[in-house]
Amino acid sequence: MFGDALGQDASVLRWRVDITKAHPARVYDLFLGGTDNYPVDRAAAAAALAANPRGYLDIRHNRDFLRRAVTTLTAQDGIRQFLDIGTGLPTQENVHQIAQRISPDSRVVYVDNDPVVLAQVYTLLTSRSEGRTDYIDADLKQPARILEQAAKTLDFDQPVALVLAAVLHFVEDEEAYRAVRELVDALPSGSRLVLSHLTEDVNPEAIRAVRRTYTERGFTFVLRSNRDVERFFTEAGLVLEEPGVVQVHRWRPDGAAPSPEQADPARLATFDAIEMIRFHDINDVTDADINIYAATGRKV
């Protein structure tokens, strides 16, 4: 079933959309082939792609890491509850789809504060009848509100997987570490943290150029090192799971990354660089392409 955490209808939410400023969730969705965006979002995505022409590999491989992590936690570790914060626009292979395909009774709570994202919930996030899927209109910087609302759907006496995929680089240092600590503190033993984060460790010139394109548009954009990412786990008292903090395509690869879409060559000639992304094979990747770390940790 789908819960009623929003308490707002889609028409009301649409009035909250600011189409004069790019939004990270909408820009991210563009790289995944999404269509819920505005000219300002396309301009931001185009600038980022110009700064790092293979940057789409970061986003596409981040999404595939989410698939692998949720699959592992559900199928191998018996996790049946997920709290996904900064989830972004619903697209293919959302957390609840992955988890409920394996265990139909899985419960998932999504958290975001973009009205475009929230409006899409009504039409795109349909849960299996055995499980439950809810959505909270809140910011990562509001852990108390998130936990209070999530408790209406999740049982905090049972393990929960906290998913923070490609969201913490939009939060300043101390706020980010504080939020993670407060969220993890509320979780019971056996819970997990699933985290991915942009870095300048690998390809600093390109990723700094990308950062400039976002900061010029008013985004907070913090690039963190391997040690900085590991700090999210150590400060929260979590045990890092194998293989530790690694580039996102190196986190337990399973050879099942999605194949690119196919199109008539004549049509391809009419597409711009952003539209072409979904036709690129993400298996054509090297370590030098990837500027995002991934890791999971367990609460003892």
- The pTM for the full model equals 0.88
**Angle, nearest 10°, between helix axes 95-102 and 56-75?**
30
Half-sphere exposure of 180 (CA within 13 A, CB side): 29
Residue 188 predicted with pLDDT over 50: yes
What does the pLDDT read at residue 126? 59
The 10s digit of each residue's pLDDT in 68-102 is 999 999 999 999 999 999 887 766 688 999 999 99
Give residue 1's pLDDT band: very low, low, confident or very high (50, 70, 90). Answer: very low
Nearest residue to 219 via CA among 166, 182, 257, 154:
166
What does the pLDDT read at residue 4? 43
Gap between the Cα atoms of 15 and 232, Å rounded: 36
The 10s digit of each residue's pLDDT in 202-251 is 999 999 998 998 888 888 889 999 999 999 999 999 999 999 999 999 99
Number of neighbours of residue 255 by Cβ within 10 angstroms: 5
The 10s digit of each residue's pLDDT in 193-215 is 999 999 999 999 999 998 998 88
With a CB cutoff of 8 Å and minimum separation 6, the contacts of 26 are 34, 36, 37, 38, 41, 89, 114, 116
Are the beta carbons of 48 and 210 closer than 8 angstroms? yes
State which amino acid sits at residue 122: Y
Most trustworthy range by pLDDT among 15-19, 55-59, 254-258: 55-59
Nearest residue to 201 via CA among 172, 226, 238:
226
What does the pLDDT read at residue 36? 75
